[in-house]
Amino acid sequence: MPQAASPSATGAGKTTCEPVPGTPPSTAEGTTRARWPPLSASSALRPAAGKVGGTASFPRPNGRGFVFGRKNMPDLETIRHSAAHVMAEAVLSLFPDAKFGIGPSIEDGFYYDFDLSRPLTPEDLAEIEKRMARIVEAGLPFQRREMAREEARAFFAERGQAYKVELIDDLPDPVVSLYTQGNFTDLCRGPHVANTREIGAFKLLHTAGAYWRGDEHRPMLQRIYGTAFASKDELNAYLYRLEQAALRDHRRLGKELDLFSIEEETGPGLVHWHPKGGVIRETIEDFWRKEHRRRGYEVVYTPHIGRVELWKTSGHWGWYRENMYSPMEVEGQQYMLKPMNCPFHILIYKSRLRSYRELPIRLAELGTVYRYERSGVLHGLLRVRGFTQDDAHIFCRPDQLEDELVRTIDLAQFLMQTFGYEHYDVELSLRDPANIEKYAGSEEGWQHAESALVGALERKSIPYARQEGEAKFYGPAIDIKLRDALGRAWQGPTIQVDFALAERFDIDYVAEDGTHRRPVMVHRALLGSMERFIGGLVEHYAGAFPPWLAPVQVVVLPIADRHTEYADKVAEQLRQRDLRVSVDARRENVNYKIREAQLQKVPYMLIVGDREAAAGTVSLRLRSGENLGSKPLADFADRAASLVASRSMEL
């Protein structure tokens, strides 16, 4: 059942209009929970356009976006927040009856939410951008003033700004601050640039609907996203990165490389793996199983459906029901498609009496689960309705917990390293100390588990961020966020202790003294789901899979028809070495075949003509464009086979 702890989207460290204390912010209130910026959940899972770039390349100031470094150099957050105000002013000039929500700076840009009389069109965006340019050009000063909250309330009420009034009503402060530039005055904590001219380069990116205060029961506002930088060059660099990210989009590459498809006739969020995607998945799964067995896991298979009573016992019928497919009735019994594998693994554990001597028991499964997701949230392979988790459940004694966690982290690190994820951030989700009654399990259990998690991380010398209050009700967890080749964050391995299920299924083991005791249960998914993981890999590699994963590892390109026979012989010999080889024997010129192989990102191209056929060699060209010239076939076969065997990232 591991579900990724969602990275909170709370705006720690963000400049925002929302909370508006009457005093200017102090740098001391900087974020404590994150060494990386808070990401919206969606950006963690799917680095979509607009969220790309991450902080790796755009360092943020600590805290609230105060001026730092050289004086008079406004930082990015201040620039962006100011740009949001300028955008609001432009919108006001176009829509005099506009009502304003909030307009914070965010990672990579800013947005502002508006309540408008009609939907925005692309032409509106262009017009708003034009008006913004005039405001920036005019060099209007930002003026701050303070007002008693009642006075400010009246000020906004008079202007029909109901959302601002609501914000003020939620503020505890007796005095609030307002910022004015040109014809636009906003409730805002600041800070802002001194003058609109300091905003530099900006661009509006897209519009979106957004519920007022993120609450689906409240009005839907129109949000405009934009970004701003101190200079035109930085803006262009950012836009270039967006283009690069779009080129890596796994949905685009999935089609171009013929890896998978999602068919309307089958239904949304249901993935068809094509032969080439299937090879990648099979290779990863084989590796996964082998590595798990090597580390003491036992692989199991469990059903895709189960009686509804099972889910009542597990509790999912209660708290997870809205994500489950409706029951199907068979012979008067109700069955559910499984959204989780854990109940089945527990039943395997429970199928006979267990001794303390056989713990830990590690049951692993590539288990396919189905979860109902609202239609608007589906996204390629990254958010689907049917997926295969690399799931495992560890049942152990309390005294074994920390060791098991260390072993699990080891395995996670090994996997990540194998796939070339070199950077990651670790979050430790703990109970909310102010609210301990809402959690399942005993006080001692929690304390033990939390200290085992901390102990494991410290034994591994892994830096982590403590996140109090982020734990699920059933147990504390470690979540690992991966950084891909573009520095974007992805949901990675998750390791969760569970106090609820062992209890609900009443599982136990016989201890040394003959008493029955409750084992500790750990859920863990290291790749997450095969769908999401491979979707992420496609983007991480930009479609250029390392040789061990490449669907076609070698393509042999005969120069003319008379070389086809030799090409087939070469291919056959390479297949004897377990390499995946194809021969492009079409009556096309070599350049054409090379181009095609290149676009398919095949690691190795072997060009064979008269010279090679006579000498028993192949002319090796790498996907990188490097032409290594003729070499004996056996040499190439050795090289390729050894790089594949070692799962090397090299060509």
Partner RNA sequence: GCCGACGUAGCUCAGUGGUAGAGCAAGUGUUUCGUAAACACUAGGUCGAGGGUUCGAAUCCCCCCGUCGGCUCCA
Instruction: Please identify which residue in 153, 223, 345, 580 interacts with RNA, judged by CB under 7 A.
Output: 223
325 binds RNA (CB under 7 A): no
494 binds RNA (CB under 7 A): yes
Instruction: Please identify which residue in 172, 174, 214, 332 interacts with RNA, judged by CB under 7 A.
Output: 214
Three-state SS sequence of 458-509: HHCCCCCEEEECCCECCECEEEEEEECCCCCEEEEEEEEEECHHHHHCCCCE
Dihedral class, residue 88 (left if φ above 0, else alpha if ψ from -120 to 50, else beta): alpha
Residue 339 Cβ vs RNA, minimum distance, rounded to whole Å: 9
To which H or E segment does residue 293 belong? helix 275-294
**Residues 545 to 574 in contact with RNA, rule: CB under 7 A:** 559-562
Cα–Cα distances in angstroms (integers) from residue 495 to residues 131, 288, 492, 562, in the given order: 50, 17, 10, 58
441 binds RNA (CB under 7 A): no
How far apart, in whole angstroms, are the C-alpha atoms of residue 505 and residue 310?
A: 10
**Residues 81 to 140 in contact with RNA, rule: CB under 7 A:** 119-121
Q: Toward RNA, which CB reaches closer, 257 or 359?
A: 257
383 binds RNA (CB under 7 A): yes
Please, are residues 194 and 142 in contact by the beta-carbon 8 Å criterion? yes
Map residues 28-47 to x or -, x wherever contact with RNA holds by CB under 7 A: ------------xxx-xx--
Please, are residues 508 and 519 in contact by the beta-carbon 8 Å criterion? yes
Instruction: Please identify which residue in 16, 82, 177, 389 interacts with RNA, judged by CB under 7 A.
Output: 389
Tokens 């079409």 map to which residue?
A: 586
266 binds RNA (CB under 7 A): no
Q: Toward RNA, which CB reaches closer, 140 or 205?
A: 205
CB atoms near residue 500 (< 10 Å): 19
Residue 440 Cβ vs RNA, minimum distance, rounded to whole Å: 16
393 binds RNA (CB under 7 A): no
What is the largest distance, in Å, between two alpha-carbon atoms of the chain? 93
For 3, half-sphere exposure in the C-beta direction (CA atoms, 13 angstrom radius) is 16
Q: Toward RNA, which CB reaches closer, 140 or 409?
A: 409
**Residues 576 to 635 in contact with RNA, rule: CB under 7 A:** 586-592, 594-595, 598-599, 605, 607-612, 619, 621, 625, 627, 629-630
Instruction: Please identify which residue in 64, 192, 292, 385 interacts with RNA, judged by CB under 7 A.
Output: 385
**Residues 49 to 78 in contact with RNA, rule: CB under 7 A:** 49-51
To which H or E segment does residue 92 belong? helix 76-94
Instruction: Please identify which residue in 133, 194, 208, 485 interacts with RNA, judged by CB under 7 A.
Output: 208
**Residues 449 to 488 in contact with RNA, rule: CB under 7 A:** none
How far apart, in whole angstroms, are the C-alpha atoms of residue 1 and residue 343?
A: 9
498 binds RNA (CB under 7 A): no
**Residues 135 to 164 in contact with RNA, rule: CB under 7 A:** none
Q: Among 6-14, 188-196, 505-513, 571-579, which window interacts with RNA (CB under 7 A)?
A: 6-14
Q: Among 189-197, 207-215, 281-289, 395-403, which window interacts with RNA (CB under 7 A)?
A: 207-215
How far apart, in whole angstroms, are the C-alpha atoms of residue 475 and residue 362?
A: 18
294 binds RNA (CB under 7 A): no
How far apart, in whole angstroms, are the C-alpha atoms of residue 376 and residue 9?
A: 19
3 state SS of 50? coil
Map residues 511-550 to x or -, x wherever contact with RNA holds by CB under 7 A: --------------x--xx-xx------------------
Please, are residues 281 and 273 in contact by the beta-carbon 8 Å criterion? yes
**Residues 301 to 320 in contact with RNA, rule: CB under 7 A:** none
Tokens of 577: 């070495």
Residue 512 Cβ vs RNA, minimum distance, rounded to whole Å: 35
